[in-house]
């Protein structure tokens, strides 16, 4: 089992956790999904549940990043000293202000599976391995502290991809997710907005391995719905961001259309926003798709 820059102690611990996880799934009486929840619940790999590292530990991480030529990571590590510990009195106060309590009168919807519901194809071991390997190593760690690098080691243990696939299939086929709430816990990170530290930007970091599960589910959805989408609905298309820029560029080549602004840095802009390409007064509608002229005030006739 190889693990890049992991120390022998960490590799031994990961091997033990993987072996215990596989053993529990095979021995019973717990299901694969329940064993998966227990695995994440007992992991403390050092970064998930703890606060910002001390000066010595931080200096060691920064030096390690610089040796590997990762200046971006080194600069990011230096900012960890200013993070507010969510478990401190000040962190608890800020968290309570951000989320004082449940919404009054809110009732969670009760979903009942229909008799005609088509069960999705079962998730395979190959899909699990491919999804884990596709996760970027820079992803912040979730509550368990198990990050992409840890999971790349874990899936090398015989039986782990199979057990993960069984757990994912169990979660995917469950009508209710109450038994899997632990998988959707978040690690709260409070980043100061100003030098005084009076305001914070809350970041909720989900469990890393669930990214692999969501990648698999998203690929299934993409395959199912692509044939039913309009040409301009590009969010699920391959290289959606580049396609959106190309669409905006094509619109700008039409006579009578000029670019007002083109946002190519916002990752949430999966398609050109209505009104980014504005027509000249003499040709009020050329260069804009019908959907854009209907939903953008002042750029077209009422829908």
Task: Give the position of tokens 């993987």.
Answer: 18
Tell me the pLDDT band of 82, cut-offs 50, 70 and 90.
low
Tell me how far apart the alpha carbons of residues 155 and 133 are, in angstroms, rounded to a whole number: 9
Question: If you ran DSSP here, which 8-state letter would residue 228 be given?
Answer: G
What is residue 129's predicted lDDT score, i.e. its pLDDT? 93
In terms of pLDDT, which residue wins out, 288 or 40?
40
Domain coordinates in residue numbering, the chain = 8-51+86-99+121-227, 240-295
In terms of pLDDT, which residue wins out, 74 or 286?
74
For the segment 249-258, what is each residue's pLDDT rounded down to a tens digit? 888 788 877 6
For the segment 193-251, what is each residue's pLDDT rounded down to a tens digit? 766 656 777 878 888 889 889 989 888 887 777 777 777 777 777 788 888 888 888 88
What is residue 161's predicted lDDT score, i.e. its pLDDT? 92
What is residue 297's predicted lDDT score, i.e. its pLDDT? 36
Closest residue by Cα to residue 11 from 64, 244, 186, 19: 19
Tell me how far apart the alpha carbons of residues 65 and 203 are, in angstroms, rounded to a whole number: 23
Task: Give the position of tokens 């802009």.
Answer: 269
For residue 9, the number of C-alpha atoms closer than 13 Å in the C-beta half-sphere is: 1
Tell me the pLDDT band of 286, cut-offs 50, 70 and 90.
very low
Beta-carbon contacts of 116 under 8 Å, excluding residues fewer than 6 positions away, are none
In terms of pLDDT, which residue wins out, 267 or 302?
267
For the segment 153-163, what is each residue's pLDDT rounded down to a tens digit? 889 989 999 99
Tell me the pLDDT band of 173, cut-offs 50, 70 and 90.
confident
Question: If you ran DSSP here, which 8-state letter would residue 188 be given?
Answer: E
| Average pLDDT score, the chain | 72
As given in the structure block, the two tokens for residue 70 are 């990762």
In terms of pLDDT, which residue wins out, 192 or 195?
192
Q: What is the DSSP string of 50-112?
A: S-S--HHHHHHHHHHHHHTT-HHHHHHHHGGGGPBPTTSHHHHHHHHHH--SPPTT-------
Dihedral sign for Cα 47, 202, 101, 198, please: positive
What is residue 227's predicted lDDT score, i.e. its pLDDT? 73
Report which secondary-structure segment, H or E, holds 303.
none
In terms of pLDDT, which residue wins out, 122 or 42?
122
Report which secondary-structure segment, H or E, holds 27.
helix 8-27
What is residue 253's predicted lDDT score, i.e. its pLDDT? 82
Report which secondary-structure segment, H or E, holds 186.
strand 186-192
- State the first-to-last Cα distance of the chain, in angstroms, to the nearest integer: 62
Tell me the pLDDT band of 126, cut-offs 50, 70 and 90.
very high
Candidate from 39-53, 75-89, 93-107, 117-131 with smallest mean pLDDT: 39-53
Candidate from 12-16, 36-40, 256-260 with smallest mean pLDDT: 256-260
The CA distances from residue 173 to 121, 122, 169, 220, in Å, are: 10, 9, 6, 14
As given in the structure block, the two tokens for residue 119 are 């069960």
What is residue 296's predicted lDDT score, i.e. its pLDDT? 33
Tell me how far apart the alpha carbons of residues 293 and 190 are, in angstroms, rounded to a whole number: 41
Question: If you ran DSSP here, which 8-state letter would residue 84 be given?
Answer: B
Tell me the pLDDT band of 47, cut-offs 50, 70 and 90.
very low
Write the Ramachandran bin of 126: left for phi over 0, alpha for psi from -120 to 50, otherwise beta.
Answer: alpha
Helix, strand or coil for residue 260? Answer: coil
């Amino acid at each position: 089992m190889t693990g890049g820059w992991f120390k022998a102690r960490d590799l031994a611990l990961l091997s033990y956790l993987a072996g215990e996880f596989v053993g529990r799934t095979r021995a019973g009486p717990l299901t694969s999904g329940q064993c998966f929840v227990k695995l994440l619940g007992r992991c403390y790999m050092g970064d998930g549940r703890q606060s910002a590292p001390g000066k010595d530990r931080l200096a060691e991480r920064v030096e390690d990043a610089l040796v590997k030529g990762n200046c971006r990571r080194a600069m990011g590590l230096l900012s960890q000293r200013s993070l507010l510990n969510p478990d401190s009195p000040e962190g608890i106060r800020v968290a309570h202000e951000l989320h004082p309590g449940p919404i009054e009168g809110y009732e969670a919807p009760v979903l009942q599976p229909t008799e005609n519901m088509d069960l999705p194809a079962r998730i395979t071991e190959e899909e699990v391995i491919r999804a884990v390997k596709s996760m970027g190593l820079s992803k912040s760690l979730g509550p368990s502290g198990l990050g992409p690098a840890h999971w790349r080691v874990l899936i090398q243990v015989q039986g782990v991809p199979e057990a993960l696939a069984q757990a994912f299939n169990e979660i995917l086929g469950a009508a209710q997710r109450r038994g899997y709430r632990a998988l959707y816990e978040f690690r709260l990170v409070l980043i100061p907005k100003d030098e005084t530290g009076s305001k914070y930007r809350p970041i909720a970091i989900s469990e890393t391995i669930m990214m692999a599960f969501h990648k698999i589910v998203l690929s299934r959805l993409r395959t199912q719905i692509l044939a039913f989408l309009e040409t301009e609905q590009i969010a699920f298309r391959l290289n959606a961001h580049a396609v959106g820029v190309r669409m905006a560029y094509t619109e700008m080549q039409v006579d009578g259309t000029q670019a007002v602004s083109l946002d190519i840095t916002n990752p949430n802009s999966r398609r050109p926003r209505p009104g980014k390409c504005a027509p000249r007064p003499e040709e009020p509608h050329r260069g804009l798709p019908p959907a854009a002229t209907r939903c953008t005030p002042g750029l077209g006739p009422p829908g």
